[in-house]
Amino acid sequence: MKQSGCTVFNDRHFSCENCDGCVSGGFDAATSQIVLCQNNIRQQSHMNRVVTHELIHAFDHCRAHVDWFKNVKHLACSEIRAANLSGDCTLMNEIARFKFGLKGHHQTCVRDRAIRSILAVRKVSKETAEKAVDEVFDACFNDLEPFGRIPHSKADARRAYRDFQNRDRYNANL
């Protein structure tokens, strides 16, 4: 976040609150604040995914100046990236949801979760959400910043972080 020009203060940019329904968290673009729904998060692994998901939105807000309220394609792109990079669609999570497949399942999960997220935060039709996701899917699915890879496991996440730490050293040698 800092390298993208945004400073993060844990006491200002994170909030734990009770939330309605089954929402686990959210990103408030007006305050640049991540909200964690303490009444709906019961496991550390779930909280880790929610924080990562919402940090992707915060990163997009900082880096890409997302127009969250007027441009549904911007929202779709950030939701695709968050579902793709946060661990929302790991094989274990999908098995726990009784949804699994082999070929192309990760992409299907990312697409479906992005559509669900758009419908949860915007009053748009399912067709509008699907169209927005489909129009930006390839570009946004392949945008792996700031990780450089899809972290499928803790080991992948550690490698991504190590790559990130060494990024300047690599770029200096080009």
Query: Residue 146, preceding bond cis, omega within 30 degrees?
Result: yes
User: Does the residue 160 lie in any domain?
Assistant: no
Domain assignment present for 1: no
Residues tagged active-site: 54
Asked whether the predicted pLDDT for residue 60 surpasses 70, the reply is yes
pLDDT, mean over the chain: 84
Establish if 169 belongs to a structural domain: no
- Read off the pLDDT of each residue in 99-123 and give the average, rounded to a whole number: 85
- Quote the number of domains for the chain: 1
Least confident interval from 32-46, 50-64, 98-112:
98-112
Which of the residue ranges 12-16, 140-144, 148-152 would you say has the lowest mean pLDDT?
A: 148-152
Residue in the structure block whose two tokens are 């729904």: 37
| Residue 61 is assigned to a structural domain of this protein | yes
Range(s) of the domain holding residue 105: 11-155
Residue 4 predicted with pLDDT over 70: no
Has residue 6 been placed in a domain?
no
What was the pLDDT predicted at 115?
Answer: 97
- pLDDT: is 98 or 42 the higher one? 42
On whether residue 29 sits in a domain, the answer given is yes
Q: Which of 28, 31, 34, 129 is nearest to 72 (CA)?
A: 129
Mean pLDDT confidence for 114-140: 95
Give how far the C-alpha of residue 105 lies from the chain's centroid of Cα atoms, to the nearest Å.
Answer: 18
Within-domain flag for 174? no
Full 3-state SS string of the chain: CHHHCCCCCHHHHEEEECCCCCCCEEEECCCCEEEEECCCCCCHHHHHHHHHHHHHHHHHHHHHCCCCCCCHHHHHHHHHHHHHHCCCCCHHHHHHCCCCCCCCHHHHHHHHHHHHHHHHHCCCCHHHHHHHHHHHHHHHHCCCCCCCCCCCCHHHHHHHHHHHHCHHHHHHCC
pLDDT value for 145:
85
Model confidence at 98: pLDDT above 70: no
Min mean pLDDT across 43-52, 56-65, 125-134, 147-156 is at 147-156
Residue 166 domain-assigned (yes or no): no
pLDDT band at 82 (very low <50, low <70, confident <90, very high): very high
Overall average pLDDT of the 127-144 stretch: 96
Q: 25: which strand partners?
A: 36
